[in-house]
Every structure is written in structure tokens, then in C-alpha cells.
Chains A and B, each alone.
Chain A
Amino acid sequence: MSGCAVFLSVNFDAEAYDLRSTSEDRLFGRFSYGRYGVRAGLPRLLAMLERRSIQATVFAAASDVQRHPDAIRAVRDAGHEIASRGADLTPLPLMKERERESLVKSRDVIAAVTGETPKGFRAPAGELSPQTLQFLAELGFAYDSSFQDDDHPYAFSVRGDLRIAEIPTVQALDDSLPFSARHTHARVVKIWREEFDALHREGCLVPLTVHLRGDLGFTRAARIAALEELLAYMASRPGVRFVTGAQLAARALASGERVEPDPGLAHEKTLAVTPYRGDLAVKPI
């Protein structure tokens, strides 16, 4: 692959995120950082992206889309791609028999609000069930962007002779973890710059994951300035172009070069006899 593609993805994660820890009647105080993302963060981000002429891909849960249809339409009108992040932010492995129906809802709610069926999906908390890829392909999604296992997009082949592209991300280029650990934005900029330089040197995909939220996101005024400087730096490097999820997926599916079997099946036998111990030390975001 010549040059270097930068995939700027935005996790909307507004009230849907706060509702993982509280109830509808308590979306105030410490549980209003999600609302900050919509009221203050999003306008600031959209203005910056317009200044820089960068197209982003915004992943939003259906419940957030229903709560903020005008904000979602503003994202669409600014020329960005809107993709699904599930019905709400409940991890899919916990949905059991309601999983497929929740994915249908996530697709249909976005289609109703934007007038366009979403092509992409990113799993809440990055957690997929062994059926998720199969369901997504059956429901017409062109790509998933939840794995963290490669330097370039590729494709999965699932039952029914269906394919779905995978656009892998990189944990080091997700703002939410270092901001959750209360690092300064200067430190996050330092990490992102080092990670970008090395990916750029090797011609790898540069998947950036930005959150809108006022706590673990990149949209406070000082942080947006830092992010803008980073994006300007990236844009100034040779061969760099900004791409959307749908563009990457179309290329991965058309090339057909790298198609992998459904990874949900490969470990089935071992998982069936292995007790769940959890991550032991790693907390999923």
C-alpha cells in the first residue's frame, strides 16, 4: 500500500455511556459528561474538521441518535459518515437472544434519522459475541471496526458466502484510556505523535479514535486545539490522506486479497470447556 491512510473515527458515546452506570433520572452532575459531548464538544469538533477539511466517521448508539437527531443530522450535513455503535452501549455478549434485534434497531434508527443506511459498526466496549460478525454481514453492514489485530484493513468470510470488512484500530490511538487515567493532553499528544510517526514510516493504517465526552474525550477547548495541531501535523507528512470507514471497507472488500475465516469459530471447542475468568487485569473501555 502506498502512502498512509488516516482513519479519524469518533465515538459519540453521550448519555448512552453514562447510562451504563446510572439511571435516566440521574443524568446530572458527574453523569452529564456525555451531554457535554453533544452540547459543547460536537460543535467544536465539527468546526475544527471543517477548518481542516477532514471527513470523520462517527459511531453512535441508537439511543443517543434518538436523543439527539438534530446533532446527528448536523454531522451528516457536514459531510461525515455515520455508523452504528449498537442499540445502546450494552456489550453484545450480554444481549444473548436479543443481540440480532438490537443490531437491526441500531441500523434502522440511523437510517430513519439520516435517510441513509449505515455501512459500519463498532461494538460497545469493543466486545463481540461469536455471532456478531455473522449478524452484521446478514444485516447488510459492509464493515466492523472493533478488532485490534492488524496494521491494515482485511475481510472476514462468514456463513452464506457473505463477507464483511474489518478496519482494525489501535489502543494507543484511543483517547479515552489515557484521559481516563488522567493524563494531560500534552502526554496524549506525545503518545499519538510517536505512534503516528512509526505507523507512517511503515505505511500502516493510522486509526484514530476520538470521544466527544467532556471527561475522557478530546473535545474540551484546549484538547481540540491539541488535536487540531496533531491532525495538521499528520496532514503535512508525505503521502497522508484522510479516509472514512466506508471508503476503507469498499477497498478491502473489492481487493478480496485478504479474507479470513470467522474468528468466532476457531476457538469454539476450547472456549466451551474453559471457565470464564475475565480479563484479570485489563479493563475493557
Chain B
Amino acid sequence: MERTRLPDDLRCAVTLGVDFDGPSHEVGRGIAPLGTHSWGRYSARRGIPRLIEMLKRQDVPCTFFVPGYDAQCHPETVRAIDAAGFEVAAHGYLHEAWDVEAGEESRLLRQTDEILRQMLGKPVLGWRSPSGRKTANTMQVLKSMGYIYDSSDKDYDLPYRLRFGPNANDCIIELPNNTYSLDDFPFYKFSYTPPSEVLAQWKSEFDAIYAADRFVVLVVHPRSGWGSGTPARADAFEQAIAYMKTHEGVRFFSSAEFARWCLEHPRHLEELRTP
């Protein structure tokens, strides 16, 4: 099988993601979102509005991955994301960062899909696993709901078709991400890195990708605490976007737009079969 190779006329593709991670992140773990556990409350009040404004200023698309519970808590925020022209995709119900049994998982995926679809009046096309856990069952359910992509796997630097079952339709576009370097939380949650150094890290990631694989998935969180909703970190995210924009031929896509591009250019995509 050929490896994925982006055509020469697509110099570099960038997808930006904002993982909503509101109160669901704590409530799902059985923690009341009070006191120091209130970072998720920052998302809807301050982080999302600040990031929407910034993304409009930079004039780039972005995909907001939203847990179903957060959408129920903050419907007006989810509608504001959509109204501003950004994609809304799914991100668990209570940000399940643990293994969920297949039947329960199916119920949660369908519940969140129903919430977002009803709220927006249009189909949801993609999903990112909260914490990066998933199985072949996950993809079966996503596919049965009409999703065209997943953005959770960590096994490659380029998009590919992930074949997860024996039937012709058991296939989904995978947009792999890396939560150790092209994400905000490791630096703000674990290593307490100054925002300027996080920006430098992302620039150096971009430089290397621009010179080789030409596909970037950058993810931030709009919360306070370990997120990028607060002014200095939102600024680092903005500077990273501005930096990428200065490079010739860089095209920003929402995750769904890029997944559609992948579907329209099958010859350029590797197909991976999983057992």
C-alpha cells in the first residue's frame, strides 16, 4: 500500500481544534466543579468567546469538539460557535477518560450526537476521543451515525483511511493528533511552561512538519487552569496561527472540510487495516 502523500498543489494543510472541556470534565469524574475544580466553567464564560473572537480576527476555520453534557449546560455557547461559522464535532458525553463497555459507549455516542444535532439542526461529522481511548466498536457506531472522520489516533503524521472491519463501509478518515507536543495541556498541566516557550515549541513543530509531512493538527482547550482560554495562552495560540499563515501555501481547513478533501482524493491516502 502506498503511503499518504499530499499533492504538490496542497503545500501544507492545517486543522485547528478546540476541545471544549467545560464542567463535564470534572462532573464526569464525580467532582463538583467548585473552587479549583471550576476551570471548566471558564470555557463557556470567557475562553470560548475569546477564542472565537481571535479565530475570526485571524480569519481561519476551526473545529470545536464538544462533550454532550457541556452542550446541555451551555447551549447558547454551542450555537454561538456554529453561528460564527465554526464546525461543532463530538467529544464524549461526560468527557469519558476511561474505558467504557461497548453497549454503554454506543448509548453515550448516540446521546451526544442527538444533543448536538438537535441543537444545531445539522449532522455532526466528526469525533475526537476524550483522553484518546477508542475501539473498533467506537468507529462502527460513529460510522453508523454518518460520521466521516475521527481525530484521536496517535500512530502517524498524516491522514489515512482506517479500515476497522470486514465490510466495504467499515472505513473512516483518521486525522491523527499528538497530545504531547501539538496540544496545550501537557505544558500547562504538567511542566508549567511559560506561554512564550509553548509558542516556540509549536513554531518548531510547524517548521519540521512544513518541511516534511505538511499536515498539522493543533489542539487547545478553552478552560482556565491547564487550558488556553486565558489571555496569555490564547495569545500564544494566536501567534502560532499567525506564524503558520506567513508560510507560503499553508491552507487551513476545518476537520470536516479536510476529511471531505480526503474522501475526494482517495488515491493520495494510505489505507490502514486494523485486526
Interface segment among A18-26, A40-48, A142-150, A228-236: the answer is A142-150
- The total of Cβ contacts below 8 Å across the A-B interface reads 140
A113 to B85, CA, bound (A): 58
Whether B243 sits at the interface, judged by CB under 8 Å, is: no
Residue from A197, A270, A275, A281 in contact with B189 in the complex, judged by beta carbons closer than 8 Å = A281
If A183-B192, A194-B232 touch, whether A149 touches B31 (CB-CB below 8 Å) is no
B interface footprint on A122-138 (CB within 8 Å = 1, 0 otherwise): 01011111101100000
Q: How far is the CB of A150 from chain B (nearest CB, A)?
A: 6
Taken together as a complex, chains A and B put the C-alpha atoms of A236 and B117 apart, in Å, by 51
Return the CB mask of B220-247 against A: 1 if under 8 Å, else 0: 0000111000111011000000000000
Q: Which residues from A are CB-within-8-Å of B30?
A: 271, 274-278
Tell me the count of chain A residues lying within 8 A, CB to CB, of chain B. 51
* B227 and chain A: residue at smallest CB distance: A171
With A127-B35, A190-B194, A194-B196 in contact, is A149–B97 under 8 Å at CB? no
User: Does the CB pair B29–A278 fall under 8 Å?
Assistant: yes
Whether a CB of chain B sits under 8 angstroms from the CB of A201 is yes
B28 contacts across to A, CB distance below 8 A: 274, 277
Bound Cα distance A281, B192 (Å): 14
B69 at the interface (CB under 8 A from A): yes
| B151-198 interface with A by 8 A CB criterion | 188-189, 191-192, 194-196
Interface membership of B214, Cβ < 8 A: no
- Interface assignment of B200: CB less than 8 Å from any CB of chain A: no
* B32 sits at the interface (CB 8 A): yes
Question: Which chain B residues (6-47) contact chain A, with CB distance < 8 Å?
Answer: 23, 27-42, 45-46
Which one, B38, B39, B226, B232, contacts A263 given CB within 8 A?
B38
**Chain B proximity mask over A163-195: 1 for CB below 8 Å, otherwise 0:** 000001011100001100101000100110011
Across the interface, A172 reaches (CB within 8 A) one of B41, B69, B188, B196, namely B188
**B38→A147 contact, CB < 8 A:** yes
Do A150 and B34 have beta carbons less than 8 Å apart?
A: no
Which of B27, B42, B195, B225 is close to A267, meaning CB atoms less than 8 Å apart?
Answer: B27
- Tell me if A155 counts as interface (CB < 8 A to partner B): no
Give the distance in Å from the alpha carbon of A129 to the alpha carbon of B35 in the complex.
Answer: 9
Write 13 A-B pairs (CB below 8 A) sorted by A numbering. Answer: A125-B36, A127-B34, A128-B34, A168-B38, A171-B224, A183-B192, A187-B192, A191-B195, A195-B231, A198-B234, A263-B33, A264-B32, A277-B30
List 12 additional A-B contacts (Cβ < 8 Å) besides A151-B230, A190-B194, A264-B32: A130-B34, A147-B34, A148-B36, A150-B41, A172-B230, A183-B192, A191-B192, A195-B232, A267-B23, A279-B29, A282-B225, A282-B226
